[in-house]
Amino acid sequence: MPVGPYQSPLAFISDVELDAHHAAQPVDYQAAPQPAGLKLRGVEKRFGDNLVLRGLDLDVPAGQFLAIVGKSGCGKSTLLRLLVGLDEPTGGRIEFVDEEGKAVEPNSRIVFQEPRLLPWFSVADNVAVGLGDGVPKAFGRREAERALKGVQLSEKAKDWPSKLSGGQRQRVALARALVSRPGLLALDEPLGALDALTRIGMQDLVTDVWRELGFTAVLVTHDVAEAVHLADRVIVLDEGRISLDLEIPRDQPRRHGDPVLAELEGRLLDTILGRT
């Protein structure tokens, strides 16, 4: 990604879309977080001749944890980008609703597979970037500390990102997304680059922050076990359509290897691989 010598540090983030996305959304940071549910009607996305999403209808209640799985190239990231406003549908509409079904303006954030931290900012300043421009410094510092505490990384606030492990960097990226108390959090394979044990720890952390903060979460993952472990509901995308919509029970603690969850994982895999 080319970064010219005279660009401001924040221009780098604009290049990776993040800040452009944040800057586009004026947010009242003092307001209580308001989970934003989703209402998709006939959502279509076309890139030239390539019709990637073919008229999706989907209702996601405010506060739900939805996971999207499917073969590589089926349109998962494309859908996620539409949900957070990084791109626009070429047909249909996406509406955001509160818990009573009333229309709301969502405060949405996204976490990518790569943490995309600014190497010349401290960990705390990287988190404060998530508040956008124009917030008072003391407020930014306080909120960054709060968000870092939420991802159990308070002791690293003053460090440079280069001193952190991959898992810690991804926790900073999560804190940067959460610092503005989003109503909708999109997660695009956020744990995909982590080793297996770090990944399990991060899965538990994501569950904890989701429970505590109450935002609507939409996770894209290649890992059906991860989808089943984290989400209330998993949808399978296949050639631009939803081929399975599966509710995942939360009536007992979720353990890796649980036979009920394993059966659901099997159904998801069979659907993705066309074995049904």
Footprint of ligand ATP (CB under 6 A): 47, 50, 52, 70, 72-78
| Nearest CA among 99, 54, 42, 58 for reference residue 234 | 58
Cβ proximity to ligand ATP: between 126 and 170 the closer is: 170
Cβ proximity to ligand ATP: between 112 and 140 the closer is: 112
Cβ proximity to ligand ATP: between 178 and 220 the closer is: 220
Please count the residues of the chain. Answer: 276
Cβ proximity to ligand ATP: between 188 and 265 the closer is: 188
**Distance of closest approach, residue 87 Cβ to ligand ATP, in angstroms:** 7
90: left (phi over 0), alpha (psi -120 to 50) or beta: alpha
**Distance of closest approach, residue 199 Cβ to ligand ATP, in angstroms:** 17
**Distance of closest approach, residue 52 Cβ to ligand ATP, in angstroms:** 4
**Distance of closest approach, residue 11 Cβ to ligand ATP, in angstroms:** 21
**Distance of closest approach, residue 227 Cβ to ligand ATP, in angstroms:** 13
Cβ proximity to ligand ATP: between 129 and 230 the closer is: 230
